[in-house]
Amino acid sequence: MFRPDKRELDWPVGKSASMQHGVAGRKPLEDKDEHAACETAARRPAILVANDDGIKAPGIRALVRELLLFCDVTVCAPSGERSAQSHAITLGRYLSAFPSEHMLDACPGVVEAWAVDGTPADSVMLGLHSNCLKTRNFDLMVSGINRGDNCGRHVIYSGTVAAAREASCTGLPAMAFSLDNHKARRMDDYAVAAKLCASLVKAALGLLPGQVSPPANHLSGIVLNVNVPSPASSHIKGYHLTHQSNAGIFPAFKEIQEPTGAHLAEIDEHTPDSRVFRNYAGTEHADHQKGGDDWAIRGGYVSITPLGLRSCIPSRMQTAFDDANGRVLAATGSVITAAAADMGLLAGGCATRS
């Protein structure tokens, strides 16, 4: 499990000591098929990366640089800021994609990088369902690192989570990464989070010591929603398996007086009776219930919440749901404990299954 000499992680984090370990193949492997895993151990895994802050954002660059140490990275992300777009997709117009020289220059070694003039979900959908990219054969899809947390009800609106969810719709295991720091505007602000997230990626791919097969094999159709505490915490205690809380921020619309102009072009009609409103952040609704994502990051833990594609509350076939959920939780727990051991941190919320 995790190391007996558990310790808190001071900012900043040092480099991981396990980058030299073997690599699992892109095609899912059965747990018992160790021979096939060995045959593909010499090949670097392929990862698709997107976000919602835009392809030039510092969070995605920090993450890509860490991933390049052990993966082949392809980037297909929005051309600009697309926060809070949820799972919106573009149907009424054409989508344009162009090579991002900015990403290629900032992160040498990237296989290819495309900027898309659409939503986060558009970017992933285009990457996985068109001939835009050189390959559509990926081991994992990751989204982020987002500027600001995506705990609780923020999941509903998050473009970061939606990008990962779009990948999971195809059966591709996916992870969404967010940093609880809205002031993070430089790559250095994401350095620690990028290392913590990279360790989770290695654990999901089965690259860490003691792992026989990739836990990602059991995470098809699942998004691991990862939230990293703000550096204001000064210490990271560990990784924690969590549930989605009810934390969120209520809207606070304010009416503003603005002359008609190009900046109001999104409004189809302007009449003398038109009124203009802006959505500002309002009252914060906290949820500190133990085991929740908001509780974890407030307590100095990196929160990992498995999210499924279904929104219903299961009634029939309950046993089947329980079995499937059990496999997901077991796989998520193995990711957390492996990453915690890799980083010398605590692993919380991971009950051992017989």
Report mean pLDDT in 10-residue bins for the chain, 354 residues.
Answer: 38 38 38 46 88 96 98 96 87 94 95 97 96 95 95 94 97 97 92 96 97 94 96 80 89 79 62 79 84 94 94 64 82 95 93 49
What is the structure's pLDDT at 285? 83
Instruction: Judge contact between 140 and 216, C-beta under 8 A.
Output: yes
- 3-class SS shares of the chain: helix, strand, coil, % to 5: 30, 20, 50
Can you tell me the distance from the alpha carbon of 176 to that of 149, in angstroms, rounded to the nearest whole number?
11
Cα-flanking dihedrals φ and ψ of residue 74, to 5°?
Answer: -115, 135
Q: String of b and e for 43-52 (b: at least 16 CB within 10 Å)?
A: eebbbbbbbb
Q: Are 228 and 193 in contact (CB under 8 A)?
A: yes
pTM for the model stands at 0.83
Query: Where along the chain do its domains lie?
Result: 46-246+288-348
The CATH class given to the 46-246+288-348 domain equals alpha beta
Torsion of CA 310, 313, 318, 319, to 10 degrees: 50
Distances (CA, A) of 308 to 163, 320, 333: 14, 15, 16
Per-residue pLDDT at 154: 92
What distance, in Å, lies between the first and last C-alpha atoms of the chain?
A: 14
Contacts of residue 192, defined as CB under 8 A and 6 or more positions apart, other chains included, come to 11, 12, 13, 228, 231, 236
Distance CA(37)–CA(24), nearest Å, equals: 6
User: Using an 8 Å Cβ cutoff, are 132 and 99 in contact?
Assistant: no
CA–CA distance, 185 with 276 (Å, rounded to integer)? 29
Instruction: Indicate the residue type of 53.
Output: D
**Cis status, amide bond into 12, omega within 30 of 0:** yes
